[in-house]
Amino acid sequence: MRVAAINDLSGFGKCSLIADISILSSMGIEVCPVPTAVLTAQTGFPSYYMHETEDMIGQSRKEWTQMGVHFDGILTGYMPDENVVSSVLDFTKSFAAKDTVLLVDPVMGDGGKPYPNYSKGMLEGIKELVSKADIITPNLTELYLLAGEAPEKACETNVADNIEKISGLARSVMTGENQNVVVTGISSGQNELINLVVSSKEEHVIGCRYNGRSYSGTGDLFAALLIGNILNGKRIEDAAFRSADFISRAIAATTEKDRNFGVNFEEVLKRRWEE
């Protein structure tokens, strides 16, 4: 199995390509990275430097087309601006074959707020990408943005009362019968996190325990785990359950207090070596 991982490379934050490469390689899946940007740290840190790498997307497309390669999966994540989104759209047009699983993580915001690089143009491009995806993994803030609602409302959502509203929003962003939307990291009460798997015909509420805190990179880890489990033959609800379970173990292993540094997922991978 081989995945093209289109994401940024951040020196600190345990997110994006670091998550994609670590998780998918450990699952026996080849990862071909396409860096959307290279940063000293993810953008939640008070200061960071970002190096643009947009040309790598078009160049990877050109070189890999000449090589005639095939991808079993394509995963898209953080994109710094709308021009990058447009290059990624071209990449997917070239490489999303009939049997390629396209997972689009519409990285645009969190905690009811869009990220600093968010723009209306980016939203339009990401919506186009979403319309081509097999699996979409928005958090609640991103789901509200995709559904054309005010992102702040994501924070007012009390999950226990609103599963129906959330699955309605998830259905409103679907463009095809066979799409799955997995709404990630919905906080429900103090110590439970919910991931909601919504397809045109059914939905599954997948709960897991956590410490009530949010950390950098958990959405990226979830997306990589989800596509890895799918490519390794798991059904979407089982894949979502396994992914959530991994994240909850990584959070439990985390002692770092600053959310920007991410979770101790390495400890969970290390334990597999000790088994």
Query: What tokens does 263 get?
Result: 């979770």
Nearest CA to 21 out of 157, 224, 161 is that of 224
Residue 259 DSSP code: G
Q: How far is the CB of 156 from ligand PXL (least distance, A)?
A: 22
When the beta carbons of 23 and 163 are compared against ligand PXL, the nearer one is: 23
Nearest-approach distance from CB 52 to ligand PXL, in angstroms: 12
Neighbouring C-alpha atoms within 13 Å toward the C-beta of 213? 16
Min CB(32)–ligand PXL separation in Å:
19
On whether the CB atoms of residues 113 and 61 are closer than 8 A, the answer is no
Nearer to ligand PXL, 54 or 220 (CB): 220
Which of 18, 174 has the CB closer to ligand PXL? 18
Nearer to ligand PXL, 199 or 261 (CB): 261
Q: What is the DSSP letter of 139?
A: B
Nearer Cβ to ligand PXL (43/76)? 43
CB of 17 to ligand PXL, least distance (A): 9
Q: How far apart (Å, rounded) are the C-alpha atoms in residues 223 and 164?
A: 23
Q: b vs e for 220-236, b when ≥16 Cβ sit within 10 Å of the residue's Cβ? A: bbbbbbbbbbbbeebeb
Per-residue burial over 124-142, b if 16 or more Cβ lie within 10 Å, else e, is ebbbebbebbbbbbbbbbb
The pair of structure tokens assigned to 231 is 């490519």
CB atoms within 10 A of CB 268: 21
- Residue with smaller CB distance to ligand PXL, 129 or 174: 129
**Angle, CA 106 vertex, CA 16 and CA 48 arms, to 5°:** 45
- What is the contact surface with ligand PXL in residues (CB under 6 A)? 8, 10, 15-16, 39, 42-44, 78, 107, 115, 216-217, 219-220
* Shorter beta-carbon distance to ligand PXL: residue 62 or 213: 213
Least distance in Å: CB of 224 to ligand PXL? 11
Partner residues linked to 102 by β-bridges: 74
Instruction: List strand residue ranges (DSSP E) for 135-255, in order.
Output: 135-136, 180-188, 192-199, 203-209
Smallest distance from ligand PXL to CB 39, Å: 5
> Whole-number minimum distance, CB 134 to ligand PXL, in Å?
21
Closest-CB residue for ligand PXL?
43
> 263 vs 24, 97, 133, 231, CA distance in Å?
17, 34, 28, 24
Task: Give min distance, CB of 257 to ligand PXL, in A.
Answer: 18
Nearer to ligand PXL (CB atom), residue 11 or residue 176: 11
